[in-house]
A and B are shown apart, each in its own frame.
Chain A
Amino acid sequence: EVNLLESGGGLVQPGGSLRLSCVASGFTFRNYAMSWVRQAPGKGLEWVSTMTGTSGSTYYADSAKGRFSISRDNFKNTLFLQMDSLRAEDTAVYYCAKGLEGYGSGGIIFGHWGHGTRLTVSA
């Protein structure tokens, strides 16, 4: 059974930094693209970033470029999101999501999701 467990959320002041983690189990982690998707209070889903499995290519939403960095440890089956220069508008629940398939467009269909970790950016 696929399981994704996010952690690392919390309360951060504007301009601060935080690193989110997502521990994965139940599948061959290194073979799948992994993504972060967020949902701000009262808002819809917003894609943040994706990292492919084997090649490690990274992709970012404009809102994350230059401030966020996605990475993964394929030995520890863990996905990370380093977030710097945080703003109030980054306040959201951050979900870790696994690609439906290990190749092609299947990597950016979010087949499994975690329950999310909440980030609040406030003074």
Chain B
Amino acid sequence: EIVMTQSPDTLSVSPGEGATLSCRASQSVSTSLAWYQVKPGQAPRLLIYAASTRALGVPARISASGSGTDFTLTISSLQSEDFALYYCQQYSDWPPLTFGGGTKVEIK
């Protein structure tokens, strides 16, 4: 099973600042990695797939990079709607499909 590890657990950021979230895989997943945004009471939302491809409707201020075992999600100039939980997921080797433990982006 591929274990996904996200850091940090919580990121405190002021609106307008940038945020960088990390995701590490226990073995290479190539670029078979997705990022999701989760807000309380809402349906989770796909942000990124294939490590760096933005899903439909995702703003350009959200970007991602990486391959192999190390991945990054970057949000430039955080808006109010960006404060949420973020999860990475590998789909390279399954079952099982595995998620990271999540990073909470909170208002500083």
Contact = CB atoms under 8 A, between A and B. Distances in A.
Interface of A: 4, 35, 37, 39, 44-47, 50, 59-62, 95, 97, 100, 105, 108-116
Given A45-B38, A95-B44, A109 B99 contact: no
B52 to A, nearest CB: 13
14 contacts: A39-B38, A44-B102, A45-B36, A45-B102, A46-B99, A47-B89, A47-B98, A50-B97, A60-B95, A100-B46, A100-B55, A108-B91, A108-B97, A110-B34
Contacts of B36: 45, 110
B43 interface: yes
B43 A116 contact: yes
B101 to A, nearest CB: 5
A64 B49 CA distance: 26
Contacts of B45: 113
A100 B87 CA distance: 17
Interface of B: 32, 34, 36, 38, 41-46, 49, 55, 87, 89, 91, 94-102
Contacts of B49: 100, 109
Contact of A61 (B38, B44, B96, B102): B96
Given A110-B34, A111-B55, A47 B97 contact: yes
A51 to B, nearest CB: 12
Contacts of B55: 100, 111
Contacts of B44: 37, 45, 95, 97, 110, 113
B87 A44 contact: yes
A109 B101 CA distance: 17
